[in-house]
Structure 1
């Protein structure tokens, strides 16, 4: 079983501590949400765990292999990554963008093997993009583009997914749609670590929440165990009422 294991990871950049002694594990069957205010270190934690940003201390391994020692292709075979900023350099067809997810398997556009084509078609279907497969991406809405990026990640067939704010700038309907896709991916045997800013979405979908503040993981547990009014005040500085997994923000503390 593929597992991402992060132990005492720290990131220091230009003398500033961005992440301090963070530890967590991600494995198939889990949908972990990282929550915290802007500047809490969530993106740096994800990038350093995947060896996309230099870490100053600690370890990050995939099945015991240090992520910094793996080739980009080997990392991509284990973990599909959706970064916070996902520009499309040119207006490709939707099908071709989704096919980029197969590059970790040695595929190339126009030269897909049968297994690659099958993976692309399954990802298009899973993300309800079959009717848009031959559309140019510059003709799509923001919600449709978000589904294209998810399909690209799913096409890789990686056992783990790391997604940095996959629902940013989407309306509520499309936010739920993307989170449902990720939840289905986990239900199908994958494991996902997702950065969100919406506490209610986290409460609805997460099996675990990593609460971050000032570069540290200050709590790690289920929504039922960690989502409290006191936690929201200490992490976000807001007054809130929590009833079960329902959250109502009253204002700044």
Structure 2
């Protein structure tokens, strides 16, 4: 399954938040979206998920316009993990995870999918606990499990590593790599650009609503591009074959 953004523009009030963004996401691929605060990362991911009205352009899912798809049909194809982690009802964890099955017709497979998602996100011991009793990081994993239970071909995640401890960051990204290896597609916004280099095939660098650069991650996450977008001097080092991006100073 292929997701395509064709000249996406989004205007919020008087502000042009996205300006003619174009790219493709293919099956078996993980793509990072990076950029400074206010660059349009969250708006882009929400637009791809059909959650934000477009000022111009379109989002195509295997050549079908997402704008013409009903929410149930779209939910079977695209799972979205939001940056906002508010859950307004004190439901048990397993019930919240089970909400990921709503786009599908009820079946005996629902229990299997929910159990697998709980296990994948290390939540089996919290399944009966109410989400109102969880820490921020635990709640983040619940919402990630909900998206996994959806079993969509495309997973769109907005800052999924925020608030997670180091172990769960690596666990999550390893899981996403596994989904991609199985033929699914992932697009993920990250603030830690080292993660883009380490885990993602391609990277899209946004700046002021426009694509500053896109392509192979090691061609986009460069000192020159990061200086332009973030206004910082950086060093890119490798430790035990793991790429690390270090911001050394601000540029004035």
TM-score range, shorter chain: over 0.9
**5+ unaligned residues in a row in structure 1: which ranges?**
108-112
| Equivalent pair of 2:204/2:220 in contact (CA under 8 Å) | no
State TM-score, norm by structure 2.
Answer: 0.92
State TM-score, norm by structure 1.
Answer: 0.92
2:240 is equivalent to residue 247 of structure 1: no
Partner secondary structure for residue 43 of structure 1: helix
Separation (CA, whole Å) in 1 of partners of 2:151 and 2:165: 28
2:114 is equivalent to residue 120 of structure 1: yes
Partner secondary structure for residue 209 of structure 1: strand
The residue number in structure 2 matching 1:75 is 74
Residues 53-202 of structure 1 correspond to what in structure 2 (within 5 A)?
53-107=52-106, 113-202=107-196
Partner secondary structure for residue 104 of structure 1: coil
Residues 204-219 of structure 1 correspond to what in structure 2 (within 5 A)?
204-219=198-213
Partner secondary structure for residue 10 of structure 1: strand
The residue number in structure 2 matching 1:110 is none
> How much does 1:242 deviate?
1.8
Separation (CA, whole Å) in 2 of partners of 1:47 and 1:56: 14
> How much does 1:230 deviate?
0.6
| Equivalent pair of 2:34/2:205 in contact (CA under 8 Å) | yes
| Equivalent pair of 1:50/1:68 in contact (CA under 8 Å) | no
| Equivalent pair of 2:204/2:213 in contact (CA under 8 Å) | yes
> How much does 1:243 deviate?
3.1
> How much does 1:240 deviate?
0.8
2:235 is equivalent to residue 236 of structure 1: no
Separation (CA, whole Å) in 1 of partners of 2:33 and 2:101: 27
| Equivalent pair of 2:237/2:245 in contact (CA under 8 Å) | yes
> How much does 1:17 deviate?
1.1
Q: What is the RMSD of the two structures over their aligned residues, measured on CA atoms?
A: 1.5
| Equivalent pair of 1:146/1:178 in contact (CA under 8 Å) | no
Give CA deviations for 1:44-95 in whole Å, capped at 9, x if unaligned.
1122222211111111111111111100111110000111112111121111
Separation (CA, whole Å) in 1 of partners of 2:135 and 2:173: 17
Give CA deviations for 1:174-227 in whole Å, capped at 9, x if unaligned.
333322232222223221111111111222111111000010111111222222
Separation (CA, whole Å) in 2 of partners of 1:59 and 1:5: 8
Residues 39-50 of structure 1 correspond to what in structure 2 (within 5 A)?
39-50=38-49
Separation (CA, whole Å) in 2 of partners of 1:198 and 1:83: 17
Q: Which moved more, 1:159-168 or 1:137-146?
A: 137-146
| Equivalent pair of 1:77/1:158 in contact (CA under 8 Å) | yes
| Equivalent pair of 2:85/2:140 in contact (CA under 8 Å) | no
